[in-house]
Structure 1
C-alpha cells in the first residue's frame, strides 16, 4: 500500500472538525471519502464544506475504506465511540479513536484489530504539539544526566488523559504508579498524590464541569514540572512556553565574601529562568486553526506509515493499556466532578494586565554604564546553550578520551621506539624540535614513554587506524562535522612528513588554497558555535545599550568565524568593526566575504605588538589567537589599552593541553614563550589565564562554560572582562 492515498472517513463533527482540517492539509496521503454523524445541521454543513457524503450509520459506509477517525465520546463518557470503533474494525478498517478510552474498551478494540489484521490506535493531539514536544525533548536530555526528584502537574479533569500521556513520555514510563486522593476539596482544585514512573507526583485537577457545555470553561489545560537536583523544567501551558529554572546554589565564597566572580560561581551567570523555544505562545486562532490540526496530522501520518508497512513511531499496545489504566485510577480517586451549570465566558483584555505590569519599574540597566558583566553574559547564555541541549558530559568525555588515544598512537608510530635525543630528532626539521619535546612529555604523562635520562624508551608503537574510527564514532553530528576528525586523522597519517618539513601543515588546513575546510573547523564544531554565540549575543547587548555605532576590534580574526556570528547578531545595528590579522591572506578573504556589510575596516595587526589608539574600541575580541603570543600579559595589557573606560574584552582560549593540536595546528605555531614556557605548556590553564588577566589590570573576569558543563572536557573557555570605568 506504500504511496497510495488512504481512503478515510471521519466519525463525529464536533472535535471531528479538527480531524477534517488535518486531513484536508494532507491531500497526498489521505483521501476524505465520507463523514459519519447523526445528521445534525452542523454535520450536513461539514459534509457540504468538504464535498463528501454524510452517513448516519456504519452500515451505510461504502466498501474500500482504509481508515476511520472515530472522534466520538467513548463508552466510558456515555458516547458511542467504542461501539463505532468495534463495528469498523470488524469491517477490516483501521481505526484511530480519540482519547480517553476505558481500559476494557481498549482491550476489546485491540483484540478485534488483531483478529481482523488491522491497526487500532488511541489518538491524542496534545503530546504532539510543539511546546509539549519541546518539553519532552528537554526532559529526556535532563533526565539522561540526573534522575527526577518530583513531578508537579495540573490540568482540567476533561484533559487528564493527555496530561498523563505527556508525563509518561517525558519521564519515559508510567509504571510503577500509586495514587491517593487528598480528600474533599474546598475549592475547584482536587489533589492527588503518589508516584508515576516511580517518581513522586503531586497532581492538581480542576474538578468542575458544566454539564451543558463540558468542553468549555476549563480553568487550565496542562501544566507540568519535572524537578531535579540541578533545577526544574516546566511546561507552563499546553502551548508553552517551556521554562528551565536552575536551582539556586550560593557557593561559600560568594556567601561570605559577596564575591560573585570567584572560581566555582560560573553558574551564577545563568538567568533565573530560561525560555526554551519561543517566549510568547501563539494566539488561540493559530492554535485552533493550525497547531491542533497539524498535531493530529502528525499522529495520522505515523498511523499511515504503520498501515503501509513503512517505519512508524507507534507506541506499544502495552503502553496504551497502561495509560488507560492509569487514567482510570486517577478518575476513580477523584470521583465524580462537581457540576457548575450555566457558566459564562468572562474574558479579561490582556491589554489591561499588560498596562498594570508595565507600571512596575524595570531594574535592568538602561545605559551602557549600568550594564554588568554577569547580567550581560547571563542574557547571552540561553542562545549559546541551545547548541548543547542534547549533549552530556559523558558523550563529550568519551570523544575526548578516544581522540587522545588515537593521537598518542599516531605520535608513537611517527617516532622511533627509543634512543637518545639526537636519535629521536634525526630527520626532524629544527623548527619542530620543541614539538617533539612536547610529544615526549605527553607520551610520558600517559604512560607511553619513559624519558628518564638518555636514551628515552618509548612503548611499542600502536596501530592508530582503529582508534581513529572509534574517535570518529564518538564525534556525532551534534558535536560537529565529520570533516573535523577527518582533518585530524589526515594530519596524523602525515606526521613523518610534517616532522621532516616535506609536508606543509598550512596546505592541509587550506588544501589548494581553499579556506572551506578551515572555515568549517573554526565555525562548525559545537565548542566554536557555543563560544561564538556567547560572544555575538554579548556584543549585541552592548551595542543595543550604546548611543553611537559600536566600535569593535577583532584581533587575529583569521577565517572570520567569530566575525560572521557577531555581524549576524548585530543585524542592522550600526558598527565600526576593525577586522585585523597578521596575514594578508585572511584580510583579502575577509574583504570578499564581508563586502556586503557596511562598517568594516581591515588592517594588519600583530598579536605580539597590538598597540593602538587608546580608548578607540568599545569591544575587543581575541578568539583563539593569544595562545601563540610571546608575552600573554603584555598582549592582553596592550589590547586593554584599546578599550574605552568600561569597554569589554572577550577572549576565547584552550585551557588544557590539546593533544590533537600537537599533531596538527602546532606545526604552524612557535615554541612556547613567556607564561607558556614558564608553565611548560602549549596552552595556559584556566587559572593561569585568570592570573594573566589580573596582571593586565582586569580583576573582574567571568569564565564560561563552567567546569561541570557538558562542553567542559573539550577544554575551551570564554574569558569575559571589562576595563574599569575609571
Structure 2
C-alpha cells in the first residue's frame, strides 16, 4: 500500500483547540505550516469572522482545500461554495454529529424515528451547528422551523412537526464543539445524550435507566474529518457532494436565525404585582382563618398528648431511660426509629418528658387526656371534610402498631388504592385551599410574559391537588398550549394522573426523584419557565444539592413556586411522617445538610430564603404575609426567580 503524500496544512486555531492533538497523530497526512498561509494545500479554519471569511475565499480561489469549523454564516457559506466550485477546490463545514454517538439509530430502535414527540438540545455557541446537524438526523426534515426566543439563551417551538427546545448557553469557548445534552422524547421513553454517552429512560412512567453506549472520542471524529480533507487535496477535482453542501447551507441558515433571535431576545421580567394577585386569589378561596388557626393549635396539643401516651408505657415505672432503651421497650421498628427519636426530642422541648443526665423520662403528671379528644370537629374547623378527621382518628388508634411496623400508614391513607383521603389532605383545609389558589395565580402571572409554548415542571405532584387548581387557572386565563410535566417519585400517582387526565392529555407524566440529579432523569434542562414544588423539597436529603438540581431545570429568570411548612407540625409528625418509614435503608431527609442532626426537617422562612439564595434563586414573595392571621398555620407559598 502506497504511503500518503503529506499535504501542507495551514491551521487557524487557538493553542488549546483539540485539532492540535489530533494533528500530532497525523504526521503521515499533514505537514503543519506555521505563519502566513503561503504555499499550502489545505487549511483548517476556526475563526468565523469577516476577515477569516475573506481569507477563506482567497484560499479557495487559489485551489486550496478548506475545512471550516462553524459557526459560519449562511452568506459566507454560500459564497465559499460558489468560489470552491469555480476554482475546483474543496470546501466543507466541520461535521461532528458522530461525536454524540449513534443517537439516530438508538432513537429509531427505542422510540421510532416517526414517533419523536420532542427534542431538547443544550449546547455552547461553538456546538450549535453540531446540535442542528444531529437534529437533522433525528427528524424527517429541518423545514419549516418556527422557533421563538423566550430568553437570550432559550428558543422553543417546532422544527418540521416536532416540538423542539434549544438552549444555547452563553459560556463556552471555540473548542466546546459537542452539545452538552440532547434529550429525545417519545411515548416509549427518552433517549438522553450526555458527556457520559447515550442512556435509555423508559417511559412514560419511568423505569431503570439503561446505559446504551459511551460517547465517542472527539479526537477520532476529528481524525476522520481531517483525513477526508487530505483526500480532497489528492483528488483536486472540485467534485461536490451536493446533498452535503445543501445540508450545510440549511444548517447555517437555521443557525443564523437562532443566533439573530437570541441576540434580540430579552429576559422576561418578574411581573410586578404577582404577590398581591396571588394573595387575593388565595383569599378568594377561603373564609376567616381564625377558627382554623385555633383548631390547628388544638390538633398540635392532641398530637403531642398522643405521642406521649404511645411512649408512656415504655416508661411506666417513671425510671429515666436512654432513648435506645425506650425504643427497645416500645418495640419500635427500625424504619420508624428516626421518627420516634424526634418525638422524644419534641416531648422534651414541650416539657412533657424531662432530661435526667443522658436519659429521658416522662414528667410525673404526663398530660395524656387530650389524646382522647374527638378529632373530627377539630379537622372540620381546619376546613377539612369528615374523611380527614376519621383518617387521623384511625391513625391515632393504631399508632402503637404503626411505630412497631405492624401496620403501614399507606394502608390507612390509600385504602384499597383509593387516593381520596390524600386528595382531601392536600387539597382541602384553609391552608391548602389558600396556598393552591395562590400558587396557581402565581404560575399564570409568571407565564403571561412568555412567548411561545411555555414549560411547567411540577415536582412531587402526588395526587394532583395543586396540579388541578393550576390547570384550571391556566384554562381560565386562556393558556391552551402549555407543556406540563407532572412528576413524582411514585408510579401510583403518575398512573392516577393519566386516568384523570385521559380526556385532555394536558400533563406529561415523569418519574422523578428530587434526591437524584433531575437532568440525569430526563427533566428539562435550563428551559422550564416555571417549576412547582409542593410539600416535597423538605424531603431532600441535601436541600442545597436538590435546590441546585431544581435550578438547573429552569431558564434564567424562570420562576420557582414552592409550597412548604415553615414550622414543625406535631399533627403531621404523628401521622403523615410515618410514610417515610417504608424504606428503612433510605437516607433521612436532611441527613446530609444538618437538618436531621438538629431535628428540624422544615426550615423556617429565613432558612428557606438562605437555602434558595445559596442555590441561585432570589425570593420575590412569601405568602400569606407575615401580618396575616393565616400565617399562623405554619405553611407558606414562596415564589423565587432563577438568577
1:599 CA displacement: 3.7
- The yes-or-no answer on 1:657 pairing with 2:568 is yes
3-state SS of the aligned residue for 2:486?
strand
Q: 1:378 to 1:372 in 2, by over 3 A?
A: farther
- TM-score when scaled to structure 1? 0.47
Asked whether the 8 Å contact 1:396–1:710 carries over to 2, the reply is no
* Cα 1:519/1:464, change in 2 over 3 Å: farther
Question: Which residue is equivalent to 1:489?
Answer: 393
Q: What's the CA shift for 1:697? A: 1.4
CA 1:495–1:451 in structure 2 vs 1: closer, same or farther (change >3 Å)?
A: farther
Deviation at 1:527, TM superposition (A): 0.8
Which of 299, 319, 322 aligns to 1:420? It is 322
Query: Hey, what's the Cα distance between the residues in 1 that align with 2:367 and 2:497?
Result: 42
Kindly state the Cα deviation for residue 516 of structure 1 after the two structures are TM-superposed.
0.9
1:591 counterpart (477, 483, 498): 498
- d(CA) in 1 for partners of 2:448, 2:610: 31
Residue in structure 1 matched with residue 92 of structure 2 by the alignment: none
Contact kept in structure 1, 2:455 and 2:484, CA below 8 Å: yes
Question: Quick check: 1:605 aligned with 2:512?
Answer: yes
Instruction: Tell me the distance in 1 between the aligned counterparts of 2:387 and 2:599.
Output: 31
The correspondence of residues 228-239 of structure 1 with structure 2, limited to 5 A, is: none
Q: Answer whether contact 1:557 1:581 (CA < 8 A) is retained.
A: yes
> Matched residues in 2 for 1:375 and 1:720: separation?
12
Question: Deviations 1:393-417 (Å, cap 9, x if unpaired)?
Answer: xx33321221111111111111123
Rounded to whole Å, the distance in 2 between the matches of 1:676 and 1:450 is: 23
Q: Secondary structure at the match of 2:533?
A: strand
Q: Distance in 2 between matches of 1:682 and 1:543?
A: 31
Q: Give distance in 2, aligned partners of 1:450 and 1:436.
A: 16
Pairing of 1:113-512 with structure 2 (within 5 A):
369=267, 371-372=269-270, 374-392=272-290, 395-415=291-311, 416-417=314-315, 419-426=321-328, 427-459=331-363, 460-464=365-369, 468-469=373-374, 472-476=376-380, 479-512=383-416
Q: Distance in 1 between matches of 2:562 and 2:418?
A: 27
SS for the counterpart of 1:387 is coil
Give runs of aligned pairs for residues 497-576 of structure 1, distance below 5 A: 497-571=401-475, 572-573=478-479, 574-576=481-483
Secondary structure at the aligned position of 2:284 is classed as: helix
Measure the CA separation in 1 of the matches of 2:380 and 2:403.
30
Instruction: Work out the number of aligned pairs and report it.
Output: 355
Distance 1:373 1:656 in 2: 29
1:476 deviation in Å? 4.0
In structure 2, do the counterparts of structure 1 residues 507 and 475 end up closer, same or farther at CA, with 3 Å as the change threshold?
closer
Does the aligned pair in 2 maintain the 1:558–1:581 contact within 8 Å? Answer: yes
RMSD: 2.2
Change in Cα spacing, 1:474 to 1:517, as seen in structure 2 (3 Å) is closer
| Normalised TM-score (structure 2) | 0.53
Quote how far apart the aligned CAs of 1:680 are.
Answer: 2.5
The answer to whether the aligner puts 1:698 opposite 2:604 as a matched pair is no
Mapped to 2, the partners of 1:516 and 1:440 lie a distance apart of 32
Tell me: CA distance 1:549–1:722, structure 2 relative to 1, closer, same or farther (3 Å).
same
Match of 2:540 in 1: 629
| 1:630 Cα deviation after fit | 0.5
Q: Tell me, yes or no, if the aligned pair for 2:443 and 2:561 is still in contact at 8 Å.
A: no
Q: How far 1:443 moved relative to its partner?
A: 0.8
Structure 1 partner of 2:81: none
The secondary structure found in structure 1 opposite 2:432 is helix
Whole-angstrom distance in 2 between the partners of 1:687 and 1:403 = 25
Given that residues 581 and 605 in structure 1 are in contact (C-alpha distance below 8 angstroms), is that contact kept between their aligned partners in structure 2? yes
Q: Secondary structure at the match of 1:700?
A: strand
Shift of 1:477: 5.2
**Structure 2 residue runs without a partner (length 5+):** 1-264, 581-587
Residue 462 (structure 1) shift: 4.2
Residue 616 of structure 2 aligns to a residue in which SS? coil
CA apart distance, 1:682 = 2.3
- Matched with 2:16 is none
CA distance in 2, matches of 1:550, 1:539: 11
Displacement of 1:458 in angstroms is 0.8
Q: Which has the higher contact order (CA 8 A, sep 6+)?
A: 2
CA positional deviation for 1:369 = 4.8
Gaps of 5+ in 1: 1-366
Question: Match of 1:553, SS?
Answer: strand
Shift of 1:380: 2.3
Question: 1:580 touches 1:603 (CA, 8 Å); kept in 2?
Answer: yes
| In structure 1, distance between residues paired with 2:341 and 2:589 | 10
